[in-house]
Structure 1
C-alpha cells in the first residue's frame, strides 16, 4: 500500500473541505488560505452571512440584499443553485506603495441563486477569503435597469463593542460603545470586541456606486447597517436612486478585517488594493511620488523662492493653492486664466514663468482647481495645464457620496491620466483602492489633518482608522505656531511623515522660504520664514514611498510606532497621545548582520531653540536595546543608515 499517496490524498481532501463546503442548497462555508477566517452564507429564513476569525465570532448572523425604489426586496427568498470556486496565489508590484510588492492570495466562491423573486436569478454574491480579511460584493446580470433605494447589508457584532466613530471624513474620531452611537459613521470603522480581538469594516473598489457609511440599527444595540448616500432634494426627499444597469455590473466590496491588535489590521491595509482592479495605465514613467511645498503668497517672487528651497532641500514639487485663477467659490472664476484673487494676494503672479523656472531646476508644479471650475471646465483645463508644463492637479471641494459624483470624480481621475497628469483629491473624499487601478491618483485628504490642528491623540486615532483606507494628505506643517500650541511637538511632526503614508507628502504647509514676500491674513498667514536649522536634515532625507512597512505597536489615542524601509535605510516614527511612555522598540526589523548609524530626533525641553529638537547619533544592530522616554503629545523620529 502506498501510504505516501494516501497521505497526499487526505491532505488534498481536507484542504478542499476547508476551502469551501456546500450543505445541500441552503448554505456555503468559505475559509481563508490560512484557515483563520471562516465565512458562512445561509439562505435559511433569509439570505444572511456570518464571519469567524481565529475561533472568535466577528460578525454574527447578518442580512444581505437591497430594497428597490419600487418596494421590491432583492434577492428575496432564494435557494443556492450554483457555486463556482476559485483560488488565487500571486504577487504584484505597484508603481509605488507601502511595500515594493504585495501578496494577493485568497479563496473565492461565486454563489448564484434561484428564488420566488424573479430578480433573484440575476443576482450573484462573490465572496473572497484572504489571510488579511474577508470581502463580498453583489453582481448583477439582469437585462433591465434597477433603481436601488437602500442597501440591506448588516454587520452584527457578537457583543456591544467599543468603536471609533466619526460623522464626516474630516471630523473628530471618538471612542464609544456601539450602543451609544447616534450618528451615521464614516468608514473604515474600527471595533474592539475584546482586549485581543479587533475588527474593521469598510468598502473597497468604490468607482461608480453610491458611497457606503454605517448606520446603527435603532432596535438592536450591536448591529450596523450599510447606509448609501442617496441624492436628496431641498425637502429631504430621496432622488436619483442608485442605478444598477445590469449585464455584468457589480457593487463595491464590503470587507471585514480582524486582528489581535489595531496594528495587525493596519499592517494588512493592502487588502483594499487587492480588491481593486490592476493598473490600467500602460506607461507609468511620468508618475512620480515626492515631497511638496505649498506656495502661500500667490506671487512670482514667492514661487521662485519655493522652487529654490525645493531644489536645496530635496523636495520634488511646488503647489499653488486656491486663488491663482480668482475666487474659487465664484462660479464665474476661470481656471484657464491666471487671475489672482485679490482677497488672497496682491500679486503679481507670472505663473508660466515660475513653471518654466521650476523645470530648469528639476522641480515640478501642481495647481489647485476647485470643483466649481472642474465641473464646467474639466475637458478644457486638463490639456491646457499640461501644455503649460504642469504635472499635477489638486481637485478641491469635490462632491462625494451619491453615485453621480462618485462616477464623475473617478472619471476625472481617468481623464487626468489621459493627459499625463497626477491628482490629489481634497476634502471629503476617502480612498477605496483606486490608486492601484489608476496610480496617477497619488493621494487624497478625507483626513483630519494639520489644517484642523489635530492633537497627537487624534492623529493616532486617524492612523488606526482612516489609514486602513489608504494614503492620506496630512498637510504637515512644521514652523507654524499651532504645532507647539495645539498639536504636540515638532518631533511628532517628523514622526507623522513616517506614520501617515502619502506618496505626495505636503511639508511646511503654512511656512514660507527665504525670499518669499510677507503674507498677512488668509491661508498661510505667517510673517516668519523657514530658518536654515539642523532639523531640516530630517525632511531632506525622508522619502514618501516604501519597500517595506512594519506597524510595530500602538493603540488609538495612546501611542503608535511604525518602521518603514526605503532602499537600504530604515525610518522609525513614534507618536504619543494622552499619556507619556517609556518607548522600548525591538529593532529586529533591521537587516540581520548589519550595523546601523541611528540618527535620533527627540524632544528636549531644556533646549533654547524654537523647535526643541535634539539630534544625536548612536550605533545599533537588530539586537540592540532601543529605549527612549517620550512625553505625552510628543514623538520620536529615527533614521537608520547602514554602516559601511
Structure 2
C-alpha cells in the first residue's frame, strides 16, 4: 500500500503506510494531535502525468477544494459535501438530533487512503476497441459525532455520521463521489442538497442547455444572463478565461436523483438535485466529474473517462447477441411498407427496421396496450419478424413509457417470442429517484430477455451502457426531428456527445433540412451512436442511386479507434475513426464557409499509401444532391486541403493500398 501524507497548512504533518484508523492502538498520542489539527487539513492528489492537481482542505469546519491543470487554475475554490435532514427519524429512534445548518460542517478527517489503477479493458463495442483506465485515487474518511448517546445494548443510539469523499485524478480530468459507509445507528439518509460547487475566474463562457433536447445558449457565468433562469443540463462545457476547456458532468447515475447545474453566484456553479433523495447505507452517489483540455477537441478525445467511472459489463453473453447497427424507420405503418423497408435495409447495408409510435394505438393513453397491434393497422408482427430475420434484419418496436410501466414483464416475454430485437422507450420520465431507478431496472430486465434498448426523449446518458451494453443509445439531443442549423450541429460534439451516444436520426432527402448533403453525409462518423437511424422521414423510393450514399452503406456504427482532429465549438469539427485498417473522416461545418487542412500524420501510418474517397459539396453541380465524389491516393503524413461550404461538410474514407 502506498504511504499516506497528511498536510497541515501546506506542511507535511506525517506520512503513514496505513490509514490512521488502522493504527490507533500504536499511534494514539499522534492521532489525538492529528485529529485536533485536521480541521485545517490540506491533502493533495495528482493525476498520473502530474498535470491535474486536486487539493482538499477544511476551512472553519467546511469541506472545500481547488483544482489546477498544468499550473493553471481551473476551479479557484469549491465546496464539497451534502446536506441531510434526518431530524424526524432521529427523534423516532431516540438519537440526538443534528441541528447543523450544513450537515458536513464540523466533520473530522479520520484517515486518507490512496490507490493507483493502471489497466486496459476491452469494450463490447464502442469508439475504441480497448480503453485505458489509469488514475490516482484518494478516499477521505470523515466522521461526525460518535461521542454522545448510549451505545451499550439494544440499538446504537449514538449521534454518529460517516462520509467518504472519493476523488480520482485522471490525466483527462477529475471525478468526485460521495460514499456513505454503513451507518452504525441504523439511520436512513434523506439527502436534500448536493453542496458540490465550482467557482471560476471571471470571464468563463458556458454552452448552456436548459433541457436535454434544447439548443445551446452561449453565456457568461453571470446572473444577468437570462439563460440562468433555468438550470443547465449536464455535461456543461466551458471555455475558461485562461484558455483551458472544461466540461462538468455526472457519471454512474443509476438509482439516485438527476443532478443539473445552477448558478450559485456570479462565476460559481453548484450541483442541483431534481428533488431530495432517500438512501440506505452503504451507498454510492453518482460521480461528479470535470473533463479538462487545452483545446476544445481534447474534451472529445478525453471523454472515455465517463465510461471508466461506471461498473464493468454485467451481461455475460453480451458479445453473442448485442449487435450495434444502422436502422431505418418504417414511416407508414402497414405490412407492405414494412416489408419494403426490410428489403431497403438489405440493399443499403442496414441492420434494423423500426416501427415507430402508433402501431399499437394512441401511445399517450394508459388504456393502449403494446401487447397487440392496433386492429386498424395492417401489421402482422410475428410474420414481419420472421421475414426480417430471414434477410438478416432485426425489428425494433417503439413503446411509450406508459405501456412499459404498466406491463413490462408481459411485453418482454411476448417480444422475445416474436423475435423482436429492441425496444425504443418513448417519452420517459427523468429526474426523480423513482423513475431513474425504474428506467435502469427496465434496461436490466430487457437484457434478461436479450432485447436491446434505445431511450427517448429527455434522458441523457451517464456511461451506464458500459455496465449494461444492451442500452445501445438514447436521445437527449436536439436532433434532426428539430431541424437545427449548422451551428447547433457543430456544437454538439463538444457538449452533448461528451456524455455518451445520441440518437440524432440523420435525414438526407427531407426538404426541411437546413444544411447541405455533405454535412448530413458526415454525421454517422462525427456523431457516435451504436444504433444509428438513417434516412429519417424518408421512404425507400426517395433513394435514386446517389453514389455518395455508398459511404453510409460502408460506414459502421462502432469503431476500433477514434480521434477528433480539428474543431472549435459551434464552428466546425473534423472527426476520424478507424474500423480494421480503414479510416473514416467526417467534417461538419458551421454557418461560415472555411478552408481546412487535414494532417494525415495525425491518424494514418506514415509513408503508407491509401486510396481516398472524398464526398464534398459542390453547389455548381446540376444534380439533386450537389455532392461530388472523387478518388485519389495519398501517403500517410501528407496534408489534405478541403473547402467546406457554409452549413456544409465532407465525408472521406482511407483504405490501405497493397
Asked whether the two chains share a fold, i.e. TM above 0.5, the reply is: yes
Residues 177 and 120 (structure 1 numbering): CA distance in 2 closer, same or farther, change over 3 Å? farther
In structure 2, the residue matched to 1:163 is 206
Deviates more, 1:530-539 or 1:446-455: 530-539
* Contact 2:202 2:241 (C-alpha < 8 Å) held by counterparts: no
Q: Does 1:591 align with 2:626?
A: no
In structure 1, the residue matched to 2:256 is 209
Counterparts of 1:424-503 in structure 2, within 5 Å, are 424-483=454-513, 486=514, 488-503=515-530
In structure 2, the residue matched to 1:505 is 532
In structure 2, the residue matched to 1:321 is 356
Residues 161 and 482 (structure 1 numbering): CA distance in 2 closer, same or farther, change over 3 Å? same
Residues 581 and 320 (structure 1 numbering): CA distance in 2 closer, same or farther, change over 3 Å? same
Structure 1: distance between partners of 2:509 and 2:371: 34
Residues 545-599 of structure 1 show CA distances to partners (whole Å, capped at 9, x for unaligned) of 0111111111111111100001111000111112211011101111233211111
In structure 1, the residue matched to 2:154 is none
Q: In the alignment, which of 126, 130, 144 is matched to residue 170 of structure 2?
A: 130
Q: In the alignment, which of 269, 290, 298 is matched to residue 224 of structure 1?
A: 269
- TM-score of the aligned structures, taking structure 2 as reference length: 0.88
Structure 2: distance between partners of 1:508 and 1:380: 32
Give the C-alpha shift of residue 195 in structure 1.
6.1
Classify the secondary structure of the residue corresponding to 1:194: coil
* Contact 2:79 2:196 (C-alpha < 8 Å) held by counterparts: yes
Structure 2: distance between partners of 1:42 and 1:61: 10
* Contact 2:136 2:168 (C-alpha < 8 Å) held by counterparts: yes
Residues 333 and 22 (structure 1 numbering): CA distance in 2 closer, same or farther, change over 3 Å? farther
Structure 1: distance between partners of 2:103 and 2:451: 41
Structure 2: distance between partners of 1:27 and 1:254: 21
Q: Does 1:50 align with 2:66?
A: yes
Classify the secondary structure of the residue corresponding to 2:481: helix
* Contact 1:22 1:28 (C-alpha < 8 Å) held by counterparts: no
Structure 1: distance between partners of 2:549 and 2:475: 25
Q: In the alignment, which of 33, 36, 55 is matched to residue 48 of structure 2?
A: 33
Q: In the alignment, which of 196, 202, 205 is matched to residue 153 of structure 1?
A: 196
* Contact 2:328 2:353 (C-alpha < 8 Å) held by counterparts: yes
In structure 2, the residue matched to 1:244 is 279
Give the C-alpha shift of residue 536 in structure 1.
2.0
Q: In the alignment, which of 253, 257, 272 is matched to residue 306 of structure 2?
A: 272
Q: Does 1:253 align with 2:287?
A: yes
* Contact 1:76 1:116 (C-alpha < 8 Å) held by counterparts: no
Structure 2: distance between partners of 1:42 and 1:14: 15
Of structures 1 and 2, the larger Rg is shown by 2
Task: List gaps (5 residues or longer) in structure 1.
Answer: 1-11, 231-240, 515-528
Structure 2: distance between partners of 1:562 and 1:49: 35
Residues 283-338 of structure 1 show CA distances to partners (whole Å, capped at 9, x for unaligned) of 11100010000011011001110100111111000111111111111111010001
- TM-score of the aligned structures, taking structure 1 as reference length: 0.90
* Contact 1:160 1:221 (C-alpha < 8 Å) held by counterparts: no
Classify the secondary structure of the residue corresponding to 1:256: strand
| Alignment length (residue pairs) | 596
Counterparts of 1:599-638 in structure 2, within 5 Å, are 599-638=613-652
In structure 1, the residue matched to 2:586 is 573
In structure 2, the residue matched to 1:91 is 120
Residues 314 and 191 (structure 1 numbering): CA distance in 2 closer, same or farther, change over 3 Å? same
In structure 1, the residue matched to 2:412 is 382
Structure 2: distance between partners of 1:55 and 1:160: 18
Counterparts of 1:273-352 in structure 2, within 5 Å, are 273-284=307-318, 285-339=320-374, 347-352=377-382
Give the C-alpha shift of residue 116 in structure 1.
4.8
Structure 1: distance between partners of 2:243 and 2:214: 28
Counterparts of 1:58-137 in structure 2, within 5 Å, are 58-69=74-85, 70=87, 72=100, 73-116=102-145, 121-137=161-177
Give the C-alpha shift of residue 21 in structure 1.
9.3
* Contact 2:203 2:241 (C-alpha < 8 Å) held by counterparts: no
Structure 2: distance between partners of 1:620 and 1:212: 48
Give the C-alpha shift of residue 15 in structure 1.
12
In structure 2, the residue matched to 1:551 is 564
Residues 639 and 381 (structure 1 numbering): CA distance in 2 closer, same or farther, change over 3 Å? same
Deviates more, 1:297-306 or 1:112-121: 112-121
Task: List gaps (5 residues or longer) in structure 2.
Answer: 14-33, 88-98, 147-157
Give the C-alpha shift of residue 621 in structure 1.
1.5
Residues 47 and 585 (structure 1 numbering): CA distance in 2 closer, same or farther, change over 3 Å? same
Structure 2: distance between partners of 1:326 and 1:90: 50
Q: Does 1:533 align with 2:549?
A: no
Classify the secondary structure of the residue corresponding to 1:399: coil
* Contact 1:571 1:638 (C-alpha < 8 Å) held by counterparts: yes
Residues 481-520 of structure 1 show CA distances to partners (whole Å, capped at 9, x for unaligned) of 022xx2x101111111111100011001111113xxxxxx
Give the C-alpha shift of residue 120 in structure 1.
6.6
* Contact 1:80 1:114 (C-alpha < 8 Å) held by counterparts: yes
Aligned residues: CA RMSD? 1.9
Residues 364 and 15 (structure 1 numbering): CA distance in 2 closer, same or farther, change over 3 Å? farther
Q: In the alignment, which of 176, 181, 184 is matched to residue 219 of structure 2?
A: 176
Give the C-alpha shift of residue 13 in structure 1.
9.4
Structure 2: distance between partners of 1:472 and 1:38: 32
